[in-house]
Structure 1
Amino acid sequence: MTAARVPVGPVPVRGRLLGEHATLTEREREVAGLVAHGLTNVEIAAALFISATTAKFHVGRIARKLGAVNRVEVVAWAWQSGLAADAAGRVPAAR
C-alpha cells in the first residue's frame, strides 16, 4: 500500500521559499504538524504509535524535502502552511 502524497505550497521562511517542490506523505504531514506544536520525537512517536527512531526519520525526511536546515524551519513552515492547526487535535492534553 502506498501512502498518498500531497503537494505542499512554498512558504517563505527566513527570506527563502521552503517546500517549493515538496510532496509530503500524509504521515509526514501529521509529523510536521506535531513538530510545530513543539513535540519531541518521543512524544510524536507516542501520539502516532510509532517508534522514536521512526519519528526522527520522518522529521529528517520532511526537512530534506522542504529544504529546511533545522527543525525550527520545519516548525515555521508547518505553521505558515496550516499543518499546525490541522494537528491540534493530536497534541497530548498535557502540552
Structure 2
Amino acid sequence: MTDTVAIIVAQAPPQTPVGPEFGKASPIGMLIIVALAVLILSLGFAFHRRLSRFNRRKIFAEAHGIDPFDQKAIDKAMAEAGILDRSRQRFI
C-alpha cells in the first residue's frame, strides 16, 4: 500500500498597510451614513402619511357612494362632512 502525501503550497499573504492610520474611517463617512438614514426615514414617514390619507379618502368615498377617482367630489363631500382640514385643504 502506498500512502499519498499531498503538499499544499500556501501563498504568502499580500502586504497589507500597517501603521497608526490603518483601518480608521473618515468622520465624513459617518456623516454620510447618518444623512442617508435621516433621508430614508423621512421618505418612509412621508410615504406612510400619504398612503394613510389615500386609504382614508378611499374608504370615505366608498362609504358615501362616490367614485374614488373623482377628487373634486370627494373634497367637496369631505368638506361638507367637516373632515377636510380647512387650512391646508387636506384630509386629516
| TM-score, normalising length: structure 2 | 0.34
Greater share of strand residues, 1 or 2?
1
Q: Which has the higher contact order (CA 8 A, sep 6+)?
A: 1
TM-score, normalised via structure 1 length:
0.33
